[in-house]
C-alpha cells in the first residue's frame, strides 16, 4: 500500500513539492549562514518524495533548535507550509485525494518546525 500511495503522491504533486524544497535548499546554501537551513530542506525534500509509511515526531528540540525554528518560520518556513496547505486543499476536494491531503498536512507541520523533528 505504501508503494501505491507514493506513486499516486508523485503524480499528484509530490514531485513538485520535493522540487520546491530542493530549490529552497539551494537558495539557502548559497550563504554560509543558511547552510543548516539548506541541509534541513534537502532532508525534507527526500522525505517529501516518499511520505507514505513514515511518521513525524515533532518537539524534542532544545534552546538552539527552538531559536533555529523561529528563524526558519520567519525566513522560509511559512512559504513552504502554505504550499503544502494549498496542495492539501486541492487534494481534499476529491475522495481519492484525501490521503494525499493528510500527507500534505503532515508536511505542513514539518515545514513550520523542522529542527528537532524525527522522521520514522
Position 62 confidence tier, pLDDT thresholds 50, 70, 90: confident
Spans of all domains in the chain: 2-119
Nearest to 23 by CA among 48, 6, 5, 54: 48
pTM value? 0.87
Q: pLDDT-based confidence at 95, cuts 50/70/90? A: confident
By percentage, how much of the chain surpasses pLDDT 70? Answer: 100
pLDDT for 61: 79
pLDDT at 104 exceeding the cut of 80: yes
Amino acid at each position: 500500500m505504501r508503494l501505491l500511495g507514493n506513486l499516486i503522491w508523485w503524480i499528484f504533486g509530490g514531485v513538485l513539492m520535493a522540487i520546491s524544497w530542493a530549490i529552497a535548499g539551494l537558495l539557502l546554501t548559497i550563504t554560509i549562514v543558511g547552510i543548516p537551513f539548506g541541509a534541513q530542506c534537502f532532508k525534507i525534500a527526500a522525505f517529501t518524495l516518499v511520505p507514505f509509511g513514515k511518521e513525524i515526531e515533532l518537539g524534542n528540540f532544545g534552546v538552539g533548535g527552538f531559536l533555529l525554528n523561529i528563524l526558519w518560520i520567519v525566513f522560509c518556513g511559512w512559504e513552504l507550509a502554505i504550499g503544502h496547505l494549498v496542495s492539501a486543499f486541492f487534494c481534499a476536494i476529491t475522495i481519492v485525494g484525501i490521503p494525499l491531503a493528510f500527507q500534505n498536512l503532515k508536511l505542513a507541520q514539518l515545514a513550520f518546525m523542522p529542527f528537532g523533528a524525527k522522521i520514522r
